[in-house]
Structure 1
Amino acid sequence: MRVLVIGTSGYVGSAVAQRLSAAGHQVVALIRPDRGKRARRYEWRIGDLTDPDSLTAAVTGDIDAVIHAGTPTGDATVDATAVAALTSRLRGTGRTFVYTSGVWVLGATGTATADENSPVNPIPIVGCRPDIESQVLDFAGVGIRTAVIRPGIVHGHGGGIPALLVDLARKHGAPVVVANASVRWPMVHVDDLAALFGVVIEQAPAGTIWHGVSENAVPVRELAIAAGQAAGVGGEPQVWPLSQAQAELGASFADALALDQSVSGHAARDRLGWRTEHPDAVPDLREGSYR
């Protein structure tokens, strides 16, 4: 397939592009005008999420699939308009559109383990995403093979939110958790997540949601201790009061770090044959890419 990927310079999008290319797909990267027309690894086209006409123009007839792994603008109207622009030329063609959301749309899961059929209860930082998910899924009714992928907390290659835990441990001289040491995070290695995008564009039925989660509920206490080891500090985690974390990191992001979730990714394994092959989050932090 020729796949237009939005977000190839980002943490997830770059891994997705590399995985698709390695699998024999032809990646076409959408780059912003301010990035310049310098040589890149992939064929590229100019576009910007705030410029709908540029997005529509990028989806030419030779594009078989579009993957939106770009960072949302934070403006619900702009983000919804971008999705509409990216899909306008796909209508009635049966071609593929994949939107990247996230498990934070589920909110706190309590004692249950959420799956793709669980109701959404988004926290503020992702408040507009359920509406965009619905927008994407509805396009299945106009001849687009749409899918939504909700990644867990992504780790690997020393990046993502786990890198923040390492930085916090280094700064505080001890492992750190935000607000509550009993919080759990659903996790996925970035390369395993990239593999999921590959199987989704190849196999997923139209109008479907998939959780990119390899570990349902990893205790953040264990992640913090491993992050401390990566940073060269030991001991039990310090609980960083939510008010202090909000003041330093921003209220919405700090609240997200304090979110307790258990989320299943078994549907993608059972129905699409998705396989996870890379290290789990704690050993990756303790002795892998974060040291």
Structure 2
Amino acid sequence: MRVLLIGGSGYLGTVLAEHLSTLGHEVVVLTRPAKANTETPYERRVGDLTDPASLTAAVTPDIDAVINLGQPSGDEAVDRAAIDALTAPLRGTDRAFLYTSGVWVLGATGDTTADEATPTNPIPIVGYRPAIESHVLATAQDGVRATVVRPGVVHGRGGGIPAMLVDLARRQGAPVAVADLSVRWPMIHVDDLATLFAMVVENAPAGTLWHGVTQPAVSVRDLSVAAGQAAGVSGEPQVWPLEDARAELGALFADALALDQSVSGDAVRDRLGWQPSNTDAVADLAAGSYR
């Protein structure tokens, strides 16, 4: 397949582009005009998620699938317009469109492990994203093989939110967790997530939603201790008060880091045969890619 990848220069995007290429797919990266001259090993097209005409122009008949890893703009109307522009050329063709959401749309899950049928209860940082998910999935009625993937907290290759825990531990001289040591995060290795994306874009039926999670509920206390090991510091984890974290990171992001969740990713294993194979998050932090 020829796959138009939006967000191909980011943390997940670079790994996904590499993985798709290894599988024999041709990757075409959508680049913002300001980065049009940036080096890339892939074919490039220029467009911007705030410019619908540029998006529609990028989805030419030779494109078999579109994967949108782009960050939400913060404006629901802008994001809806981007989805409409990207899917307009796909309508009636059964070509694939994959939209990237995230498990934060589920909100705090309590003692129940959430799956794809669990109602959404989004925290403010992703407040309108469930509506965008529904907007994407509705295009399946117009002949788009539309799917949504909700990744957990991504780790691996020394990047993602766990890298922030390592940096905090290094700066504070001790392991650090935001707000509450009892918080749990659903986790997934970036290479396993890339494998999942490829399986979904290749084989998933239209109108389906998938959770990208390998570990449903990893203790942030354990993650912070492992991050301290990666940073070369030890001792009991320190709690970073939520108000202090909000002041430095912004309230929306800090509140997301304090969100306690348990989320299942079993559906994609059972229905598509996904077989994640990479190391778990705590081991990756303590003795893997973050050292």
Letter aligned with residue 263 of structure 1: V
Does residue 13 of the first structure (1) align with residue 18 of the second (2)? no
Q: Where do 1:191-202 residues align within 5 Å? A: 191-202=191-202
Q: Where do 1:177-192 residues align within 5 Å? A: 177-192=177-192
Cross-structure match for 2:230: 230
Note if contact 1:156-1:189 (Cα within 8 Å) is conserved in structure 2.
Answer: yes
Q: How far off its partner does 1:37 sit? A: 3.3
Cross-structure match for 1:261: 261
Cross-structure match for 1:126: 126
TM-score by length of 2: 0.99
Cross-structure match for 2:206: 206
Secondary structure in 1 matching 2:154:
strand
Cross-structure match for 2:71: 71
Cross-structure match for 1:139: 139
Identity over aligned pairs, percent: 68
TM-score by length of 1: 0.99
Secondary structure in 2 matching 1:88:
helix
Q: How far off its partner does 1:36 sit? A: 2.4
Letter aligned with residue 104 of structure 1: W
Note if contact 1:104-1:256 (Cα within 8 Å) is conserved in structure 2.
Answer: yes
CA distance in 1, matches of 2:114, 2:229: 31
Letter aligned with residue 255 of structure 2: D
Cross-structure match for 1:272: 272
Cross-structure match for 1:60: 60
Letter aligned with residue 267 of structure 1: A
CA distance in 2, matches of 1:111, 1:40: 45
Q: How far off its partner does 1:237 sit? A: 0.6
Does residue 30 of the first structure (1) align with residue 21 of the second (2)? no
The unaligned stretches of length 5 or more in structure 1 are none
Letter aligned with residue 156 of structure 1: G
Note if contact 1:13-1:70 (Cα within 8 Å) is conserved in structure 2.
Answer: no
Does residue 44 of the first structure (1) align with residue 47 of the second (2)? no
CA distance in 1, matches of 2:259, 2:233: 25
Secondary structure in 2 matching 1:148:
strand
Alpha-carbon RMSD: 0.7
CA distance in 2, matches of 1:87, 1:192: 27
After superposition, the C-alpha distances for 1:177-206 in whole angstroms (9 at most, x for unaligned) are 111100000000001000001000111010
CA distance in 2, matches of 1:74, 1:228: 33
Secondary structure in 2 matching 1:194:
helix
Cross-structure match for 1:242: 242
Note if contact 1:20-1:198 (Cα within 8 Å) is conserved in structure 2.
Answer: yes
Cross-structure match for 1:289: 289
CA distance in 2, matches of 1:41, 1:268: 30
Secondary structure in 1 matching 2:222:
helix
Q: Which has the higher mean CA deviation after the structures are superposed, 92-101 or 66-75?
A: 66-75
Q: How far off its partner does 1:39 sit? A: 4.4
Q: Which runs of 4+ in 1 moved over 4 A?
A: none
Note if contact 1:229-1:286 (Cα within 8 Å) is conserved in structure 2.
Answer: yes
